[in-house]
Amino acid sequence: MLTISQLASYAGVTVRAVRHYHSRGLLPEPERDRSGYRRYDAAAVVELIKIRTLADAGVPLSRVHELVAADAEEFAEAVRDVDRRLRAEIRARQRSRERIAQLAAGDSLALPPEAVAYLDRMRELGFRQELIDIERDSWILIAAQIPDQVSAFMAIKHAQIEHETLRRLYLDLGDLVDCTPDDPRLPSLADRVTAFIEAAEAQSAGMEEGEPISKELIALLDAAFVDSFPCAPRLLRLLEERGWTGWTDIKRADHAGMGRSS
Amino acid sequence: MLTISQLASYAGVTVRAVRHYHSRGLLPEPERDRSGYRRYDAAAVVELIKIRTLADAGVPLSRVHELVAADAEEFAEAVRDVDRRLRAEIRARQRSRERIAQLAAGDSLALPPEAVAYLDRMRELGFRQELIDIERDSWILIAAQIPDQVSAFMAIKHAQIEHETLRRLYLDLGDLVDCTPDDPRLPSLADRVTAFIEAAEAQSAGMEEGEPISKELIALLDAAFVDSFPCAPRLLRLLEERGWTGWTDIKRADHAGMGRSS
DNA sequence: GTGGAGCCCTGACCCTGCGTCAAGGTCAAG
DNA sequence: CTTGACCTTGACGCAGGGTCAGGGCTCCAC
């Protein structure tokens, strides 16, 4: 007859694990000798090895319980289940490997490669790092919300940034990161922004935009803009004076709230 | 500004997880609004995604804590570590898949295919199911202790079972599963066993056996034999009378315990 | 202005699969 | 008889959260 530690060592598990299986009802409690010690026979070793084999394959102990008592049909089905789970776990780990590789490679992660390329291009063109960081955060939010549309928007941004006039506007806007609400450059910047928007509007008149962005995301991005630029509220007011509202998605102001709609 | 649930959904985690990371000091507690709600900025999303990516890769939260504050060098080293672990886990799961595939294919858990084949052959040759079950359990024990040597032993067993005389001896031994200790067939069976052992001994005189099996395993297998056959003790006594001791590994008795050794 | 839905807060217990004391009883050897 | 290696039960601890419980906000509709 075997003691608990002999049993455990034959099956390659710890004594604690054996007692745990007893308490779970997985392995039946054996006879006790006169001093209360558990005494096992060889069949218990076999049982224990079966339990460990399933547990090692990642089957939860509660299922092991059912399986050791299951018929062949049921058992085969369960095995297929376990195999599916193992495959899923392998895939998950492969994805994890890719993700942490990205994470080690650079500032990316949570950002698709096009966006990373765009941020790199901004750096090359001399944009301030603070602005790039803000831009990156915005794109993270966008990627989290509408991952499928990121590359379409990214293409537009890439084109914009390579456009001479627009790039200069962006660069000057970038300087706003540390300006105060009463900065003298603001009115002329507001003029340049409205000029561009109006030009773009004229060009794309009648053109259908892609899928519209949700109000929530626009609000979120606007809020992020306001948080990052101390003078953002002032700029937005200046734009409203010129007939435009919003930032992420600038639209003609309706003079709504004045009692009539146009 | 983001509420906790917005933050959580952007990063693809639960609200509870975010609070958990706060309590672990992984993610800094953000400002609260006037009603005590946490308010996050977009940078928190970046942080949170980074944390999740590491945690998903199986990095314990305590290490994630170190890593998010680590420099590039240290981080890269840690990432290599994590990647090694992930590869190892993938391999482990692939091995598990193979094991459970075997497990589904054969009628039993924790047995290598050669053993399953052997048991199938026993069934074909007309051995009783009870005997096959006992044999299976023995092989589970052997496979657990000395997995590398199973196929060598299996080859021997396969040869034995195809040997006419020996097979008939085995078949008759199989009938012992339900015999009583005073069964009249026992003495002649003991004679046949000793005859075979002596013949085998003569043949293999001077031949070196493979690796010896450990005393513990032999004792365990003997115990399993005794547990399974009510008449096993009687048979062992009969063998001792004929100068042999043990069962799994039958050896010439030394008359030890009689005050002298030969 | 008031009710209810749907957020938010903290604190506390629950889960798995054991590891790790703690506090004692037992057994075999010297 | 002592020592050290076992055995017993019971309880707490770990990660990584889930899931109440018992409260407070806020916002929108009526």
Q: Tokens at residue A7, please? A: 């049993």
Is the pLDDT at A258 greater than 60? The verdict is: no
Q: What does the mean pLDDT of chain B come to? A: 86
- Asked if the Cβ–Cβ distance from B2 to A104 is below 8 Å, we say no
- Asked if the Cβ–Cβ distance from B83 to A101 is below 8 Å, we say yes
How many angstroms separate the CA of B217 from the C1' of C11? 54
Which residues 34-93 in chain B have a CB closer than 7 A to strand D? 34-35, 55, 60-62
- In which element (H, E) is residue B252 found? strand B251-252
Strand D and A9 CB separated by under 7 Å = no
In chain D, which nucleotides are within 7 Å of a protein Cβ? 6-9, 15-19, 24-26
Q: Which residue is nearest to nucleotide C25 (CA to C1')?
A: A35
Is the pLDDT at A255 greater than 80? The verdict is: no
CA B199 to chain centre: 36
- Asked if the Cβ–Cβ distance from B140 to A46 is below 8 Å, we say yes
pLDDT class for A20, splitting at 50, 70, 90? Answer: very high
Strand C and A63 CB separated by under 7 Å = no
Residue range A107-120, pLDDT digits in tens: 556 678 888 888 88
Residue A27 φ then ψ, to 5°: -115, 125
Q: Evaluate the CA torsion angle A120, A124, A129, A135 in order and state its sign.
A: negative
- Asked if the Cβ–Cβ distance from B109 to A1 is below 8 Å, we say no
CATH number of B4-96: 1.10.1660.10
> Where in chain A does DSSP place strands (E)?
244-245, 251-252
Residue range A42-77, pLDDT digits in tens: 999 999 999 998 899 889 999 999 888 888 888 888
Residue A252 φ then ψ, to 5°: -65, 135
Architecture of domain A4-101: Orthogonal Bundle (1.10)
- Asked if the Cβ–Cβ distance from B144 to A10 is below 8 Å, we say yes
CA B49 to each of CA A86, B4, B162, B192: distance values in angstroms, whole numbers, following the listed order: 25, 14, 64, 74
Cα angle, residue A5 at apex, residues B223 and A39 outer, rounded to 5°: 50
Q: How far apart are CA A140 and CA B43, in angstroms?
A: 9
Q: Evaluate the CA torsion angle A89, A94, A97, A101 in order and state its sign.
A: negative
Beta bridge partners of A251: A245
How many angstroms separate the CA of B242 from the C1' of C1? 105
Block residue for tokens 């809020």: A223
Q: Give the number of residues written for chain B.
A: 262
Residue A64 burial by Cβ neighbours in a 10 Å radius (0-12, 13-18, 19+): buried
Query: How close B181 gets to chain A, by Cα (Å)?
Result: 20
Q: Evaluate the CA torsion angle B11, B13, B19, B20 in order and state its sign.
A: negative
- Asked if the Cβ–Cβ distance from B46 to A140 is below 8 Å, we say yes
CA B175 to each of CA A55, A96, A185: distance values in angstroms, whole numbers, following the listed order: 36, 57, 104
Question: What is the DSSP annotation of A162-227?
Answer: HSHHHHHHHHHHHGGGG--TT-TTHHHHHHHHHHHHHHHHHHTTTPPPSSPPPHHHHHHHHHHHHH
CA A234 to each of CA A130, A240, A259, B135: distance values in angstroms, whole numbers, following the listed order: 20, 10, 24, 87
What is the domain partition of chain A in residue ranges?
A: 4-101, 107-252
Q: What residues of A are in contact with residue B227 (Cβ under 8 Å)?
A: 41-43
Strand C and A20 CB separated by under 7 Å = yes
Strand D and A145 CB separated by under 7 Å = no
Q: What is the pLDDT along chain B (262 residues), one digit of tens a residue?
A: 889 999 999 889 999 999 999 999 999 999 999 999 999 988 898 889 989 999 999 999 999 998 888 888 888 888 999 999 999 999 999 988 888 887 777 666 678 888 888 999 999 999 988 888 889 888 988 888 888 888 899 998 999 899 888 889 888 888 888 888 888 988 998 999 999 888 888 877 666 666 778 888 888 888 888 888 889 989 999 999 999 998 988 888 865 443 333 2
